[in-house]
Homo-oligomer: A and B are copies of this chain.
Amino acid sequence: MKTEIIAVGSELLTPDFQDTNSLFLTERLNSVGLDVAFKTIVGDDEGDLARVIRTALGRSRLILLMGGLGPTEDDRTRETLAKVLGARLIFKAAILRHIRARFRRRGLDMPATNRKQCYAIEGAEVLANPHGTAPGLWLERGKNRLAVLPGPPRELRPMVENHVLPRLAALGRGRMVRRTIRLTGIGESLMESLIKPVYASVPKAVRVTTLAAPGDLAITLTYRGPASLSEAQAVIEGLESALLKALRRWVYSRNGEGLEAVVGALLKKEGRTVACAESCTGGLVGHRLTAVPGSSAYFLESAVVYGNAAKVRRLGVPPALIDKHGAVSAAVARAMAAGVRSTAGADFGLAVTGIAGPDGGTARKPVGLVYTALAHAGGVAVRRDIFYGGRAMVRFQASQKALDVLRRFLLKADMD
């Protein structure tokens, strides 16, 4: 069964916005054994949208249509689909009650513009939307199955989980098992050359895909075929072992988890706490560590000491050290890590100082230079890296390195 995802919205045809819902949708479709054959992105123009829907009805059995269900003038998905199908739009009092109740809970009257969301296509099942005003629709027309879904992820995701997946599970064929390992501290070319021998042993039913970002690599193994669950898992695990043999020193996650979650789980398991001292990352290390629910068990604080005065006052970094070596130096990184560890009373002090750019670099201290220091009961370790890329990329890589330094220490692995 060919499956197609259609994302509707003129903003998705500008240089500034991208459809990301389809990544979530694809993952969920894959989980019930359905592959995506086509993704189409179209704007709010009714003629274009009608064409796209007609094309999809001709080539795809399952169509997931997202976006354009809002209350505004340019939200035309419901109306256009009805026209293409030659179906009427029917007013649903239950939807009106739901929308009115949502506004009433916030002490507001429903604006008249929301009234258009109260119409459903004739013959469609209405999919409840507890997180927004626009309900979804499920239609079965001849050979086609269509889901019409709201664009905002917080509305889309629960609707897919609760209403769409149960309907799709019956349609999926075959089994899909997927495993993602994630790596940091290695470049894409080196990774490729190290795993090249493994590619030769990959069976036809498995796809190997790699994703590389500076500071973060991922390899995904996907089995799709008729095998039993345990057989499929055995195939994936055999390949995973071969990959780990070649890459183990850089692998931080074998289940797709992010580095902040991995570090958090290690700290929690060991019952230890961390405090951070951040300069160039500006709070990103703390933000990532606290993105994990329950992180208050091990994360005490982060001192984002951007200016030199803050480094001195908050962490006791000696001004003479900054004068002599500069704020971006091994000596200051060490003093920041030791300072935040002792002032916060944490088991670990994790410090980052560097030059994120675009300005501030010199020949001896170029943009991208980052020092990462880890203070622990036995002393302070420091490392020096030069990261490439723009400001955001340097800051991400610096945060990734800091988290990885702590991870390696917790695993008693070498500081690479």
| Interfacial residues, chain A to chain B (CB-CB below 8 A) | 2, 9-18, 20, 23-24, 26-27, 30, 35-45, 48, 51-52, 55, 59, 70-74, 103, 111-114, 131, 133, 152, 154, 180, 188-190, 192-193, 196, 199, 207-214, 218, 220, 222, 256, 275-276, 278, 281-287, 289-291, 293-296, 299-307, 309-310, 313-314, 343-345, 357-359, 388-393, 395
Chosen A-B contacts, 12 in total, with CB atoms closer than 8 Å, are A16-B218, A71-B188, A111-B192, A113-B189, A113-B193, A154-B389, A282-B290, A282-B291, A283-B283, A283-B287, A302-B302, A302-B306
Q: Are A359 and B189 in contact (CB under 8 A)?
A: no
In the complex, how many angstroms separate the beta carbon of A381 from the nearest chain B beta carbon? 23
In the complex, how many angstroms separate the beta carbon of A150 from the nearest chain B beta carbon? 11
In the complex, how many angstroms separate the beta carbon of A156 from the nearest chain B beta carbon? 13
Q: Are B36 and A293 in contact (CB under 8 A)?
A: no
Q: Are A26 and B39 in contact (CB under 8 A)?
A: no
In the complex, how many angstroms separate the beta carbon of A327 from the nearest chain B beta carbon? 10
Give the contacting residue for A301; candidates B35, B133, B305, B389; CB below 8 A.
Answer: B305
In the complex, how many angstroms separate the beta carbon of A349 from the nearest chain B beta carbon? 13
Question: For residue A209, which residues in chain B have a CB less than 8 angstroms away from its CB?
Answer: 9-11, 14, 16-17, 44, 74
Interface of A is mostly: mixed
The distance in angstroms between the C-alpha atoms of A335 and B192, with both chains bound, is 53
- Known A-B contacts A301-B310, A303-B304; the reply to A111 vs B189 at CB < 8 A is yes
Q: Are B300 and A303 in contact (CB under 8 A)?
A: no
The distance in angstroms between the C-alpha atoms of A306 and B210, with both chains bound, is 36
Q: Are B154 and A390 in contact (CB under 8 A)?
A: yes
- Known A-B contacts A302-B304, A357-B293; the reply to A70 vs B188 at CB < 8 A is yes
Kindly report which residue of chain B lies nearest to residue A286, judged by CB atoms.
B283
- Known A-B contacts A11-B211, A301-B307; the reply to A313 vs B343 at CB < 8 A is yes
Question: For residue A303, which residues in chain B have a CB less than 8 angstroms away from its CB?
Answer: 301, 303-304, 314
Question: For residue A207, which residues in chain B have a CB less than 8 angstroms away from its CB?
Answer: 10, 14
- Known A-B contacts A211-B16, A220-B16; the reply to A154 vs B193 at CB < 8 A is no
Q: Are A304 and B291 in contact (CB under 8 A)?
A: no
Known contacts A283-B285, A290-B306, A299-B307; 9 additional CB pairs below 8 A are A13-B26, A13-B35, A14-B207, A55-B59, A74-B208, A283-B304, A300-B307, A301-B303, A302-B302
